[in-house]
Structure 1
Amino acid sequence: MGCECSKLYWCCSDAEINGPVPEPQSAQNEEKNELDLPTFHEYTVEQLRIATSGFAVENIVSEHGEKAPNVVYKGKLENQRRIAVKRFNRSAWPDARQFLEEARAVGQLRNHRLANLLGCCCEGDERLLVAEYMPNDTLAKHLFHWDTQPMKWAMRLRVALHLAQALEYCTNKERALYHDLNAYRIVFDDDGNPRLSCFGLMKNSRDGKSYSTNLAFTPPEYLRTGRVTPESVMYSFGTLLLDLLSGKHIPPSHALDLIRDRNLQMLTDSCLEGQFSNDEGTELVRLASRCLQYEPRERPNPKSLVAALIPLQKDTEVPSHVLMGIQHGATALPLSPLGEASLRMDLTAIHEILEKLGYKDDEGAATELSFQMWTNQMQETLNSKKKGDVAFRHKDFRAAIECYTQFIDVGTMVSPTVYARRSLSYLMSEMPNEALNDAVQAQVISPVWHMASYLQAAALTALGRENEAQVALKEGSVLENKKTASA
């Protein structure tokens, strides 16, 4: 980056660091009302168990260690809404009433800059939070552990602005405290837009601590008092600005030393060379320096951060998914013959593929066998499955439904393929609701089976739910590509 000396002095002088920041343009930060989100809901453990395929290992999207013992699963509700479910360990929230009060309060927030809290579950020892699912990883992944391309400067500025806008919204709604703000708390939605996870708005009462990261990154007043304040959140925002500038997680004390020594080249991500001017880099360093002031009262508030970040935005007309290099929409994915058949709702082609596959995708699926397997009843159950297979092969779908239902109702064996075949039989018989239920059940049994997602896409298309069908189609394609790659 290479700031000039005069600019460095301006950047780091106390007068400028603590000086006023212009008021933001109110129109830029108006709360959007078009969010299509349900009101806060209290779920049962069974509902969330089904949504996550029994809290399947395959559905884990993040997990933490001893300092923050919780796991986040991806899942899907009966209405096909994708969710992220955070499951705490038993000691995290001993007071059920406190957990519910916190969750209900956070659940009232609704903003396009947040990964919003949709609900919770508090049954017995279980404490779970349900939020919008963000499919495109965390800021930490894109900034520190990128695979294909480093994050562009324009996108880093957008992340900073969206985060500041999220914090401004929360502050205006009297939820100014955010616990352990870091690059893992910023997630990217379907469009590649950054959002602030709602989970950090919940106070974790496990041990009274609010920071699970290295103490070198915690606000100095937190080390003295053990309490989070709105000014503490601004300090953490400053550490995130350093992350965005450097592409590394640099301790604030070290970063401030580099700034004082005018050694900003060491502070700047070499991947950003030529993407921004000295003035732009200097301004971001100035904002970070203001946020990292030792005295909390000298730090800015979210409103002033938004005002300072709006003029810095670049390439505002370019969608985030383009800047991020993220595939967008089902049509962007290379579809297999099965995916193409699901997209066209070519049920005959799906039938041919499902018939050729046989039952090989049942391998590894949960199978329940009882002592009845040696009895006449078990033999009758297996016979009903065989009759269903014959009917399915000969496209007698009504008979297939009847026989597969007899097999399923006995419940001694669990087969995702039987559910898939009955799902397609329902589709062929113009019973899309029943088909969707069976396709979901097949995915509950086998969470990573792409056929289940493709059948959900076909059923949703038949029901006229095109947007949800596109999501299911994309999920099926991703799962199939992963299976092909691993094979």
Structure 2
Amino acid sequence: MGCCSSCFSKEPRSENNNIHQNTHQHSPSNGKGAAFAGDGGGVPVFSEYSLADLKGATNNFSSEFIVSESGEKAPNVVYKGRLQNRRWIAVKKFSKMAWPDPKQFADEAWGVGKLRHKRVANLIGYCCDGDERLLVAEYMPNDTLAKHLFHWENQTIEWAMRLRVALCIAEALDYCSTEGRPLYHDLNAYRVLFDENGDPRLSCFGLMKNSRDGKSYSTNLAYTPPEYLRNGRVTPESVSFSFGTVLLDLLSGKHIPPSHALEMIRGKNILLLMDSHLEGNFSTEEATVVFDLASRCLQYEPRERPNTKDLVATLAPLQNKPDVPSYQMLGIPKHEEAPATPPHPLSPMGDACSRMDLTAIHQILVMTHYKDDEGTNELSFQEWTQQMRDMLEARKRGDLAFRDKDFRTAIDCYSQFIDVGTMISPTVYARRSLCHLMCDQPDAALRDAMQAQCVYPDWSTAFYMQAVALAKLDMHKDAVDMLNEAATLEDKKRAK
């Protein structure tokens, strides 16, 4: 059975970034299409970030946010961070010595930033500010292949998942090669990451050299392609060699130098090489195919190694659990929408809306009464007619019904008030919005909350009510954005 590349992958959602869109000459010549080539889903277009953005996201590059450190001659550190729009990111920090020329760094970053694929932890931006050289990528929350293979705590990776990892990385390399980026620097088990759904991704950081001078391997020389040791150059065939070392990792559950593994392969000691933690739960036929592929990848002569299309063609037929989600095979929790938690403490209204506590929202709206409507209506003496008195009477009946939680009556009375149209009240819209939510009418609730925003554009309550309605409509990404917008408006109001 072959495995379609979309069998076990959930497309990433699109998000708007609070970043500086870069429009200088590095921008792709064919516009947005280039940035989204290769089935990358809704990954943000590649952009330039400000240093302030990234300092804010990483708590000023706090040591608590470091997720990896490596390299001596070209030291680099990777931080996790969170942008104002709540998107998690990985930020790789280089020394200025590694990239003295900012234009050279930007050119290299833009080249990698054009790639977009669901098998890659995509590069979404960079920053060149003074001495700072930073790359920004999608953040992968479920650790590296090295962690799951070599340092696992709960369970080892089952055989079917190991085959999936091998295919996904082969697909990523094949995509990059097809898109004109065939060189991958220092491919190893630390470069394979798992996203929020447990699907394997290839780190984009390996697509970019560690330094201007092209230093490409930081791992032990025993795992380095022989031609790199001879001339210091990385070729597409070097990448195949490194892929072979990853296959050895997947087979053995250990980081075995290729020379040792080749001796076992030549001696047909396949079972001796297999990871004992699998406890025999694997197909010997499939393992033999993978061993043979690893052996071909590790050939001394580069021309004898398979190309990326060969890798995919060999591994695709081995996939035997295409319908089982990756998170299930990895033994990690299913990904749920992140809770909507703005950076600052929420107001009582914000807290109630983030918890979807309609009863608490009702209590707050009752207590607030109409104090937020001040200044939204200026009536002339002539408008104080019998019609006006009837309209206010309808609102009063609506308020009594609202207080007594007779939400259907409140909807009718508030609708009478709104239909007259002489007086416009954002509070009435907010109250009717909650009544619709209480009556399980989220579409109508969203319309009313949007009307409240039209009447009073900077009113946080209007945004909070939209957030609740959007969440009820299962539009969780939009609900989070709306909740954050409301919290920002409250912050601005407090700062005045």
Q: TM-score range by the shorter chain?
A: 0.5 to 0.7
Out of 293, 296, 311, the position equivalent to 1:287 is 293
Structure 1 residue 346 corresponds to structure 2 residue 346 = no
Give the counterpart of 2:327 among 321, 329, 340. Answer: 321
Q: What SS class does the counterpart of residue 67 from structure 2 fall into?
A: strand
Decide which of 450, 460, 476 is 1:466's aligned counterpart: 476
Counterpart-to-counterpart distance in 1, 2:324 and 2:53: 39
Structure 2 match to 1:136: 142
2:251 to 245, 253, 260: 245
> Do 1:29 and 1:165's aligned partners in 2 also have CA atoms closer than 8 Å?
no
Report the CA distance shift for 1:237/1:68 in structure 2 as closer, same or farther (over 3 A): same
2:171 to 162, 165, 171: 165
Separation in structure 2 between the aligned mates of residue 311 and residue 108 of structure 1, nearest angstrom: 30
Q: Distance in 1 between matches of 2:165 and 2:472?
A: 38
**Alpha-carbon distance, 1:262 to partner:** 2.4
Distance 1:240 1:464 in 2: 40
Q: 1:434 to 1:324 in 2, by over 3 A?
A: farther
Q: Report the alpha carbon displacement of residue 328 of structure 1 after superposing the two structures with TM.
A: 1.1
- Once the two structures are superposed, the pairs formed by residues 107-146 of structure 1 within 5 Å of their partners are 107-146=113-152
Deviations along 1:82-130, one digit per CA (max 9) or x if unpaired, are 2111111221211111100010011000011100000100111100001
Distance 1:74 1:459 in 2: 31
Q: Please give the alpha-carbon distance, in whole angstroms, between the structure 2 residues aligned to 1:71 and 1:468.
A: 33
Displacement of 1:58: 2.3
C-alpha separation in 2, matches of 1:309 and 1:118? 29
Partner residue of 1:196 out of 197, 202, 210:
202
Matched, 1:256 2:262: yes
More displaced, 232-241 or 274-283?
A: 274-283
Equivalent residue letter for 2:249: D
Is the 1:461–1:469 Cα contact (8 Å) retained in structure 2? yes
Cα distance in 2, alignment partners of residues 433 and 257 from structure 1: 71
The percent identity for this pair of structures is 61
Counterpart-to-counterpart distance in 1, 2:237 and 2:298: 10
Contact persistence 1:25–1:307 (CA under 8 A): no
Larger Rg: 2
Quote the offset at 1:272 in angstroms: 1.5
1:58 counterpart (48, 64, 67): 64
Are the aligned partners of 1:435 and 1:459 in contact in 2 as well (CA < 8 Å)?
no
CA distance, structure 1, for counterparts of residue 94 and residue 370 of structure 2? 45
Aligned residue for 1:196, secondary structure, equals strand
Question: Which segment drifts farther, 68-77 or 191-200?
Answer: 68-77
CA distance in 1 between counterparts of 2:241 and 2:482 reads 40
Q: Secondary structure at the match of 2:190?
A: helix
**How many Å apart are 1:153 and its aligned residue?**
0.3
Q: Which residue of 1 aligns with 2:441?
A: none
Structure 1 residues 300, 188: closer, same or farther in 2, change over 3 A?
same
Between the aligned partners of 2:228 and 2:162, the Cα distance in structure 1 is 27
Secondary structure in 1 matching 2:285: helix
Q: 1: distance between equivalents of 2:107 and 2:59?
A: 28
Equivalents in 2 of 1:216, 1:44: separation in Å? 40
Shift in alpha-carbon separation, 1:308–1:434, aligned structure 2, 3 A: farther
Q: Does 1:74 align with 2:80?
A: yes
User: Once the 2 structures are TM-superposed, how far is the Cα of residue 329 of structure 1 from its aligned partner?
Assistant: 2.8
Q: Deviations over 1:309-360 (max 9, x none)?
A: 0111111110101111111133899xxxx9x97764228879x9xxxxxxxx
Question: Which residue of the partner structure matches residue 476 of structure 1?
Answer: none
SS at match of 1:294: coil
Match of 2:93 in 1: 87
| In 2: Cα distance, 1:126 partner to 1:464 partner | 40
d(CA) in 2 for partners of 1:128, 1:470: 28
Q: Does 1:236 align with 2:239?
A: no
Where does residue 299 of structure 1 map in the other structure? 305
Q: Which has the higher helix share?
A: 1
Q: Return the letter of the residue paired with 2:476.
A: E
Paired with 2:254 and 2:261, the residues of 1 have a C-alpha distance of 11
- How has the CA–CA distance of structure 1 residues 257 and 317 changed in structure 2, closer, same or farther, with 3 Å as cutoff? same
Classify 1:435/1:226 alpha carbon distance in 2 versus 1 (closer, same or farther; 3 Å).
farther
CA 1:38–1:309 in structure 2 vs 1: closer, same or farther (change >3 Å)? same
Looking at structure 2, the residues matched to 284 and 223 of structure 1 have their Cα atoms a distance apart, in angstroms, of 26
Q: Work out whether residues 80 and 468 of structure 1, in 8 Å CA contact, stay in contact via their aligned partners in 2.
A: no
Q: Assess, with a 3 A threshold, how the Cα gap between structure 1 residues 33 and 221 changes in structure 2: closer, same or farther.
A: closer
- Contact 2:149 / 2:253 at 8 angstroms: preserved in 1? yes
* Secondary structure, counterpart of 1:305 in structure 2: helix
Deviation for aligned residue 1:471: 11
Q: Secondary structure at the match of 2:180?
A: coil
Give the number of the structure with larger relative contact order, counting CA–CA contacts within 8 Å between residues 6 or more apart.
1
Query: Aligned letter for 2:211?
Result: S
Counterpart of 1:304 in 2: which secondary structure? helix
Amino acid at match of 1:246: S
CA apart distance, 1:308: 0.4
> Is contact 1:433-1:463 (8 Å) kept?
no
Q: Distance in 1 between matches of 2:76 and 2:369?
A: 45
Alignment partners' CA distance in 2, 1:332 and 1:119:
23
For residue 41 of structure 2, what is the aligned residue in structure 1?
35
Cα distance in 1 for partners of 2:90, 2:225 equals 29
- Note closer, same or farther for the CA distance 1:127–1:458 as it changes in structure 2 (3 Å cut): farther
C-alpha deviation, 1:146, in angstroms = 0.5
Provide closer, same or farther for how the CA distance between residues 121 and 261 of structure 1 changes in structure 2, counting only shifts above 3 A.
same
TM-score, length of structure 2 as denominator length = 0.65
AA at the equivalent of 1:466: H
> 2:221 maps to what in 1?
215
Does the 8 A contact of 1:460 with 1:468 survive in 2? yes
The structure-2 alpha-carbon separation of the partners of 1:166 and 1:29, relative to structure 1 and needing over 3 Å to count, comes to farther
Aligned-partner Cα distance in 1 for 2:300–2:160: 29
3-state DSSP class of the match of 1:345?
coil
Secondary structure in 2 matching 1:307: helix
Shift of 1:51: 1.6
User: SS of 1:330's equivalent?
Assistant: coil
Cα 1:146–1:117 shift into 2, 3 Å:
same
| Matched residue type, 2:160 | A
Instruction: Give the CA deviation at 1:64.
Output: 1.9
SS in 2 for 1:183: coil
